[in-house]
Structure 1
Amino acid sequence: TGYTGGKIRWLQQEEPDNFARTRLILNPKDYIRYRLTGECLTEVSDASGTGLYDVRNNAWCRPLLEKIGLDPGLFPPVVESTAIAGHIDKAAASLTGLPEGIPVAGGGGDAVISTTGLGLIQPGRIGVTLGTSGVVAMGLPEFLPNPQGSLQVFRGNSPGTFTAMGVTLAAAGSYQWFRNALGQYESAEAKRQGKSAFQLLDAAAAVTPAGAGGLIFLPYLTGERCPLNDPDARGAFVGLTSLHGKGHFARSVMEGVAFSLRQVYDLIIGHNQAWMASGELVLAGGGAVSRLWRQILADVFNLPARTVFGSAEGGSFGAALVAGVAAGVWADLSEAVRLVRPESETLPIPENLPVYEKLYRRYVGLYPALRWNDHDE
């Protein structure tokens, strides 16, 4: 996986005969549009994800394409996500049963259009997705410089906007590892009770005070991508004493993941603190089902944490909003995302804030302190 540009270079170098036969490069959704409409186009968010697009200036990066020996003619015209990018043609209507002439929107790349489904088109709302990996994202009104390459910056689905995001490699995946490696008792007991093992682990963690007795978990189980781009980073429990029990370990994993996501958030808003004035977290993904994890995130970020209706649909909901704007159902995405209504709300607990702020600062210092042990000199 990764940026499309790297895959194109691989084909160019490893399968030169197949590359020589290539006439046009389309992302999967754009190939589907071609089959439906006959139009060879892409749109700004997916173009941004190729690694070959000048996101700031909204055009293919010709100097880069020329430097790596790619003909700019291989890449299609680019439209806005909410533009009408074709209509169902007669052949597609015959094959699919869809009425001829239905408009087809530009659409969006999966990462960006999922954030649109959470209502992230302007600053002030930060999206956190607790899947196997973790995603922290925010819509922005201007380009975000990213000289270290720690974040990913895309053109947004709303014209003239941008989306910044950072992806950690083991968010809810860390909790799953913990259950599989150290939660055999909970797994067996959950089966007996007809519950989830995560419910039992959550219960043990919930009666453990905030801060897990000083036990800190580093969630670098498969290296890390953001906020630390280091494939050799390794996970750890730090601060272990004889007083720590299963609940401390479970809570430490949840807190360590929250700290890693907070680091990504700090990277994004570090460029402009005003972006988060009166802000909120919007949570999605399987981990957001946990009431305790929602509380920990609200406390670590010191922001209200909400789940929203439609988040379970992921990118499909964002795509429906984009298509509705293209079809004229809504004037623009600012109007469309009003459909993104709160489902639950979790407010920070004031007495937990200083505990987590102190622990977070300690957490941030652990990677550089332990890095010597993770890397062969």
Structure 2
Amino acid sequence: MACKEQQHSMLITAIRQRLPHGRPLLLLLLLLLPQLLLGPVRSAPQVPCYFIFGDSLVDNGNNNNIASLARANYPPYGIDFSAGATGRFCNGLTTVDVISQLLGFEDYIPPYARTRGQDLLGGANFASAAAGIRDETGQQLGARISFGGQIQNYVQAVQQIVEILGDEDSAADYLSKCIFSVGMGSNDYLNNYFMPTFYSTSSRYTPDEYATALTQQYSQQLRTLYNYGARKVAVIGVGQIGCSPNELARLSTDGVTCVGQFNSAIQLFNREVVQMVNDLNSLDGAHFTYINAYGIFQNILANPGDYGLRVTNRGCCGVGRNNGQITCLPYQPPCPNRREFLFWDAFHPTEAANIIIGRRSYRAQSSSDASPMDISHLAQL
């Protein structure tokens, strides 16, 4: 404090030497003192709020206090995150953390589990690990908040926002300026369709039929979000789950080649989602966009060295023999060179990979990264 006062005194002395007349000096000091005392002013975020829906790729703590095996609130998760093991399935930042930074938010968007009242005006993260479009998805892992449940939580949040802003019209106008990101579908394959021991979907649907059924339900759920104020919505496609360390260890012929059965099914789903996004844009005032996570991931896998990555078929943290466990073994030290790993555990990317994906979601590096626009342009609408 003394140092700052000394700097202010020196600056005032210098001004006096240049401006001998009293009134100009007084006027200049009145203009400068707020900046001298408060320091640089941070610009406002590009949008007033950011609402996040999804699964373990973006969950940041909603599963911490529920009876679920899909939890990440213990070390070595969060080893590179300032707050430690918060529930993020990563060593550091998730993709939505990166996007929130790029949107200009001073803090990361908090989990809905601990966000109420005025804090909701900045947005909330509703994501839940093991969640799917289908309500039964992930049930073998215990409790989780399906996409339908996440929407119910959002509806409750909207009711609070209406009370805070005074009426529904004010709330609708406010929400129409916010960014919504939704990334669902991974678990509907990993923890449903490709798990015949627990689920019957693979015996009841062909891959084409399942993609269609999933997308039809997804569309209705997104229309509910629209009915409750969502207008700028980024729909994140499903990535190449057939290239995850778990699937490589279980089903790859050489431990490196991605599992085609998985990726082919995902591509069917993603194509349906692209058409769904186009259809949703016919809604009045709607601006839905598709983020091509599959293509971004494919590009990273094809050119890992361009991004400083070296290891693409193994997780960095300990996940048991042959990457067979889903999450990191508790308190086991991870690899020291995690910035060179694509995957953190058997399924989830490292912070290094999330930074790449988050940046390309926000501002497209390739024309195929987003359709019809990236998140930076969505924010400008």
Same fold (TM over 0.5): no
The structure with the largest alpha-carbon Rg is 2
TM normalised by structure 2 equals 0.26
TM-score normalised over the length of structure 1: 0.26
